[in-house]
Amino acid sequence: MPSRLATSLCGVPLKTPVLAASGTYAYGVELRDLVDLAALGGIVVKGLSREPMDGNPPPRVWETESGMINSIGLQNIGVRAFVHEKLPQLRDSGTAIFANVFGYAVEDYVEVVRVLEDSEGIAGYELNVSCPNTKHGGIFFSSDPALLAEVIGAVRKIARRPLIVKLSPNVARIEPLAQAAAEAGADVLSLVNTFVALAIDPRSRKPRLGSGFGGLSGPAIKPIALRMVYEAARSVKIPVVGLGGISNGLDAAEFLIAGASAVQVGTANFWDPAAPLRIARELDQFLQQEGIEHAHDLIGTLKL
Average of per-residue pLDDT across 88-108: 96
Residue 133 pLDDT more than 70? no
Q: Are 109 and 147 in contact (CB under 8 A)?
A: no
Read off the pLDDT band of 2 (50, 70, 90): low
pLDDT at 131: 83
Residue 238 pLDDT more than 90? yes
* 131 catalytically annotated: yes
* Residue 169, in any domain of the structure: yes
How many structural domains compose the chain?
1
Read off the pLDDT band of 121 (50, 70, 90): very high
Average of per-residue pLDDT across 83-95: 96
**CA–CA separation, 43 and 24 (whole Å):** 10
Tell me the pLDDT tens digit for each residue of 9-31: 999 999 999 999 999 999 999 99
* Residue 304, in any domain of the structure: no
Here the CATH number for the domain that contains residue 165 is: 3.20.20.70
pLDDT at 132: 77
Write down the mean pLDDT value for the chain. 96
pLDDT at 135: 72
Read off the pLDDT band of 134 (50, 70, 90): low
The pTM of this model reads 0.96
Tell me the pLDDT tens digit for each residue of 261-282: 999 999 999 999 999 999 999 9
- End-to-end distance of the chain based on CA atoms, in angstroms? 32
* Residue 206, in any domain of the structure: no
* Residue 28, in any domain of the structure: yes
* Residue 210, in any domain of the structure: no
The residue from 106, 113, 127, 131 that is catalytic is 131
Average of per-residue pLDDT across 37-65: 96
Read off the pLDDT band of 49 (50, 70, 90): very high
Q: Which residues, 6 or more positions from 291, have their beta carbon under 8 angstroms from its beta carbon?
A: none
Residue range(s) defining the domain that contains residue 83:
7-55+74-195+217-298
Angle at 131 between CA 83 and CA 88, to 5 degrees: 10
* Residue 112, in any domain of the structure: yes
**CA–CA separation, 140 and 239 (whole Å):** 23
* Residue 157, in any domain of the structure: yes
* Residue 62, in any domain of the structure: no
**CA–CA separation, 188 and 92 (whole Å):** 25
